[in-house]
Structure 1
Amino acid sequence: MGMGKRRRESQGELFVPSGELAASPGHAFYRRLNRLLGECGFDDAVEAACVPYYDAQGGRDSIAPGTYFRMLFVGYFEAIDSQRGIAWRCADSLSLREFLGMKLTERTPDHSTLSKTRDRLPLEVHELAFRLVLAAAAEKGLLKGKTLGVDSTTLEADAAMRSIVRKESGEDWKAYVKRLMQEAGEIEEGEEPTDEDLRRFDKKRKNKKTSNAEWESPTDPDARIARMKDGRTRLAYKAEHAIDLETELVVAAEVYHADQSDSRTLADTAMAARTHVSEAGRGEVFEEVVADKGYHSAGQLELVESLNVRTYIPEPNSPHQRRWTDKPSGLKEAVVANRRRTKTEKNSRLQKLRSERVERTFAHTCETGGARRTRLRGIEKVRKRHLIVAAAHNLAILLRSLLGAGKPKALAGLLDQLAQLLTAALDWLIRTISQQKSTDC
């Protein structure tokens, strides 16, 4: 056999017969995912919902909405956080081309196509895609919808802290500190301090703080200054998940401004979860909400209680006794009822489940799902992307129940383990037969 040499001519073939194009056998994981999406009528439903947002009179056809959502699913399953990375991965992989329904002679969508499609389709279409996945989970018996666990995390925004400016004057950090140095008499008018002088003065000045009321990012005005989980101070958003505590399905994935406290967003997230669960085909909705003490607020407790939902939210320690004389009676009743429930053994059990399983959804979506750092600007865009990442997480739970693996790499590892077990069983069988033959001789 002769050694093959790499062709170095720059010009390719003018015509390539279709018979010479080898079709990809596809990936077992993505083939099963395509079958699952087909069973729940995913493509037909999203295409029908997207009709009003396209011109029916003419023009070039866009990518299919199902292809757009599949590419975002790929971002979760392949742990890719940027649209450029998703577009490159889909163009490079034959199995992903087969998953997207793209022929070998077709060009896969570019990252700019993803951006334009996301801007064209409203949040309601993305919510529909999320609910279709929830409905598929309900049909498989994976959506119980009785007890919800709620928690939040921070998402790093696509904006740098060094880009923030003062709201009232538009000054950046250097101009602001320079003005303070002039007002303090450290430098003369027109004198230019060095970066080291600015840092030294900024370090020693009193009452130094970076407040969202005074500073904003010109590149992403919706981002807010917040402390991340690792202790860094960054521009960020807040993602809040409500999950089915029994099955770990995400039934609501809301994104808020990072300076909105947990005690202000609980009722909104609970209402979104109720809407998603009811529209996913579940006749009954959840009965209980479990959260940590950061969500404790008399007003939020009353709003959740008005939905006929019991709360299990620990009450923060306070040196002062609450006064109810100037407040509506409904606030006191909600707080007292919640306080009574948090002293039970059931609350301890539910809090353990919440701390374990809600944090696990953040690990899957943010750490291994590519959603911790958003590459989009504007809270509306971040909401769309995070909602589809949560839908992909729910698909992973569905596939784990069907295949035993929730991601392509997990399926590959499962097959490797199976191959090792079969090899070990074959070796044991051969040794047993050999020993039997030697005994007979």
Structure 2
Amino acid sequence: MGMGRRPGERQQELWIATSRVASAPGHIFYDKLNGFLDEAGFDAFVEELCEPFYKQAGRRSIPPGRYFCMLLIGYFEGIDSQRGIAWRCSDSLSLRRFLFLATDEDVPDHSSLTRVRNRLPLEVHEKVFEFVLEVARKKKLLKDGNLCVGVDATTLEANAAMKTIVRRDTGESWPEYVRRLMIEEGVIDEDDDPTDEELRRFDKDRSKWGKKKVSNEEWASPTDPDSRILKMKDGRTHLAYKGEHTVDLDSELILAADVHHGTDSDTATIIESIATAQRHVAAAGSEAAINEVAADKGYHSNTVLVDCQEAGATSCTVIFWG
């Protein structure tokens, strides 16, 4: 067999027969998932659910079923940005097949995903989440009876930069605040206009002296006021949220995914997460009840133990580890 060589630059053909277009055998997981969703009438369900949020006239949007399938791809592929989801779908023939994209159709742009996400309220996304849980129940993945769930949380970076924060009392930006401190300490006169480098140097010196402190009581983001200043797990300080998941430990199905303020303690959010998971299970048509909760020691408190006991009709056992 002779060795093939990669061709250099060449002019692309203007016309090409459909039979000659590259194809892929498909991914067994996505093919199976497509079969389950099609059998359950997923596209018809989400189109009926989303129709009130669209006008009858105008340019056609992304089909709602395709939008939600792209979100599923982001979850399964571990992609946390809409730009990344759009690129991944464009790069994969098997994912194009999963999205039912014709040969001459482009993958929806990331900006189109953003417009759809802004158009559809949270309640619509929650209804779709419950629909998928119902499909899982019908396929015997979500079992009836007592459930043992695991609850855990992590920090999520907000789409806002620390350099944009402003003081709650005066509305000063960070550079304006640092300039005022320089004036108060006699480093510069009121008429002086320090350069960005001088501001950074003074701010860095304050950090060395232990004077540089940023609190959520004094500072906020004007672009994302719900975010909180938080120290991330890698040591960086960033505007962030707290994401908390409740998972069925038997099937490993996610029953709830809540987002809280980054400063909310674990003991303050666990009951809400358990209640949300129980509501989703009931909405999926299951009579299962959560009677065991597993969480790490950060969730331990006497109040949590009492509230868990009172949360359901059956007894609730809380298991802490770590």
TM-score by length of 1: 0.64
| Residue in 1 that maps onto 2:120 | 121
Greater shift after overlay, 194-203 or 251-260?
A: 194-203
Larger helix share, 1 or 2: 1
| Residue in 2 that maps onto 1:32 | 32
Greater shift after overlay, 242-251 or 273-282?
A: 242-251
**Offset at 1:263?**
2.3
The alignment status of 1:41 with 2:10, answered yes or no, reads no
Q: Is the 8 A contact 1:147 1:245 kept in 2?
A: yes
Residue from 273, 294, 297 that aligns with 2:298: 294
Residue from 196, 199, 204 that aligns with 2:209: 204
Q: Is the 8 A contact 1:50 1:125 kept in 2?
A: yes
**Offset at 1:295?**
3.3
- CA-to-aligned-CA distance 1:89-121 (integer Å, 9 cap, x gap): 212222211110011011221111111111111
Q: Is the 8 A contact 2:291 2:317 kept in 1?
A: no
- CA-to-aligned-CA distance 1:325-356 (integer Å, 9 cap, x gap): xxxxxxxxxxxxxxxxxxxxxxxxx435xx7x
Tell me, what secondary structure is at the counterpart of 1:148? strand
**Offset at 1:296?**
4.5
Q: Is the 8 A contact 1:148 1:290 kept in 2?
A: yes
The alignment status of 1:274 with 2:285, answered yes or no, reads no
Counterparts of 1:131-280 in structure 2, within 5 Å, are: 131-144=130-143, 145-193=146-194, 194=198, 195-204=200-209, 206=211, 208-280=212-284
Q: Is the 8 A contact 1:149 1:245 kept in 2?
A: yes
Counterparts of 1:55-74 in structure 2, within 5 Å, are: 55-56=55-56, 58-74=57-73
Q: Which amino acid aligns with 1:35?
A: G
Counterparts of 1:93-108 in structure 2, within 5 Å, are: 93-108=92-107
Task: Name the larger-Rg structure.
Answer: 1
Q: Is the 8 A contact 1:150 1:289 kept in 2?
A: yes
Partners of 1:40 and 1:287 in 2: how far apart?
A: 29
Could you tell me which runs of 5 or more consecutive residues in structure 1 were left unpaired when the two chains were aligned. 314-349, 356-441
| Residue in 2 that maps onto 1:283 | 287
TM-score by length of 2: 0.86
**Offset at 1:136?**
2.4
**Offset at 1:22?**
4.6
Residue from 337, 348, 351 that aligns with 2:320: 351
Partners of 2:174 and 2:106 in 1: how far apart?
A: 45
**Offset at 1:252?**
0.7
**Offset at 1:310?**
4.1
**Offset at 1:29?**
2.5
1:200–1:5 distance in 2 versus 1, CA, 3 Å: closer
Q: Which amino acid aligns with 2:292?
A: E
Pick 1 or 2: higher relative contact order, CA cutoff 8 A, min separation 6.
1
**Offset at 1:230?**
2.4
- CA-to-aligned-CA distance 1:264-309 (integer Å, 9 cap, x gap): 2222212211110111121132123333443345665554433335
Partners of 1:198 and 1:22 in 2: how far apart?
A: 57
Q: Which amino acid aligns with 2:248?
A: D
Q: Which amino acid aligns with 1:46?
A: V
1:105–1:230 distance in 2 versus 1, CA, 3 Å: same
**Offset at 1:81?**
2.2
Greater shift after overlay, 90-99 or 20-29?
A: 20-29
Partners of 2:39 and 2:141 in 1: how far apart?
A: 16
Tell me, what secondary structure is at the counterpart of 1:351? strand
How many equivalent pairs are there? Answer: 313
**Offset at 1:53?**
1.4
Q: Is the 8 A contact 1:177 1:202 kept in 2?
A: no
RMSD (CA atoms):
2.7
Q: Which amino acid aligns with 2:253?
A: L
- CA-to-aligned-CA distance 1:63-96 (integer Å, 9 cap, x gap): 2111111111222233322212211221222221
Partners of 1:190 and 1:202 in 2: how far apart?
A: 25
| Residue in 1 that maps onto 2:90 | 91
| Residue in 1 that maps onto 2:51 | 51
**Offset at 1:191?**
3.2
Partners of 1:100 and 1:44 in 2: how far apart?
A: 15
Greater shift after overlay, 247-256 or 304-313?
A: 304-313
Partners of 1:126 and 1:5 in 2: how far apart?
A: 47
Larger strand share, 1 or 2: 2
Partners of 1:199 and 1:103 in 2: how far apart?
A: 55
